[in-house]
Structure 1
């Protein structure tokens, strides 16, 4: 069944269709809200609140093919509300699973990738909320510039600008950290 058909059924009150939409979006929504808040339990609350709000307001959605940006707009607003309430830096947990029974080389490569991903996530945490949101929606949730503009209620040019600025900040931060780590490694060798 297509997403549009599911949304029509939800508009007519079909809870099973809501369950199907939930299954389609729950993992992406959890990952997105976790990357925004940095807290697993808060993310679960945000996703639950988002689906409730979607169900209550689904009849206000006029263009059914726009469900995804509409859903992420609601999710974003709720996540921002929660971040605003907490207003403190939350520790980043390692959300990447480590595989068992892998060769030494694969383990080393996986460790290096995880370290790089963790460094990236730490730097993403240092971005301002709107830049962080754009990065997460674009790279982690695969939304287009146009969809992100709808989610955030701004122009496509604003999204492009935020993406550009965020990429630039991330690049500078990661390069600075890489240089710092190389200096520290050389100090250890001496």
Structure 2
């Protein structure tokens, strides 16, 4: 069944349709909220709160074809509300795909990938909330600039500007990390 039909069923009060849309978006929603808040338990609460709000507010959605943007707008607002309330309760978990550990080479590659993902995630956390949001929506949830503008309630140019600024900051901080790591290694060799 296509998404528009499912959304229409939700608007009619069909709780089973909510379960269907939940299955479609739960993983994306969790990953997104986790990347915004950095907390597994808070992210679970955010996802649950978002789906409840979607169900209760579904009749206000005029164009069912725009459900994805509408859904992420609600998710973003709820994630922003929770962001900063909690600090990380648990160490960073690898929420990205895990490699197969059958061989030493794969294990080493997995470790390197995990370290790079951890470093990237840490640098994303240092961005201000709105820059972090556009990075996560664009790269991790693969929303277009137009969809992100709808989600965040701003102009497309603002989204492009935030993406540009965030990329610049990430690049500078990642290069700085790389230079620092190189200096430490070089110092150990002396």
Report the TM-score when normalising by structure 2. 0.95
Shift of 1:54: 0.4
Output the aligned Cα RMSD: 1.5
Q: Does the aligned pair in 1 maintain the 2:50–2:75 contact within 8 Å? A: yes
Q: 1:135–1:90: structure 2 CA closer, same or farther, 3 Å change rule?
A: farther
4+ runs of 1 displaced by more than 6 Å?
none
> Does structure 2 conserve the Cα–Cα contact (< 8 Å) formed by 1:38 and 1:92?
no
**Counterpart for residue 93 of structure 1:** 92
Number of residue-to-residue matches in the alignment? 189
Aligned partner of 2:177 in structure 1 is 177
Distance 2:90 2:125 in 1: 10
Distance in 2 between residues matched to 1:189 and 1:109, nearest whole Å: 24
Give unpaired runs (5+ residues) of structure 2.
Answer: none
Aligned to 2:165: 165
Change (3 A) 1:64 1:132: same
Q: Residue 156 of structure 2 corresponds to which residue in structure 1?
A: 156
Aligned partners of 1:109 and 1:99: how far apart in 2?
A: 8
> Which residues in structure 2 correspond to 1:1-190 (within 5 Å)?
1-86=1-86, 88=87, 93-95=92-94, 96=96, 98-99=98-99, 101-190=101-190
Q: In the TM superposition, what is the alpha-carbon distance from 1:101 to its structure 2 partner?
A: 4.0
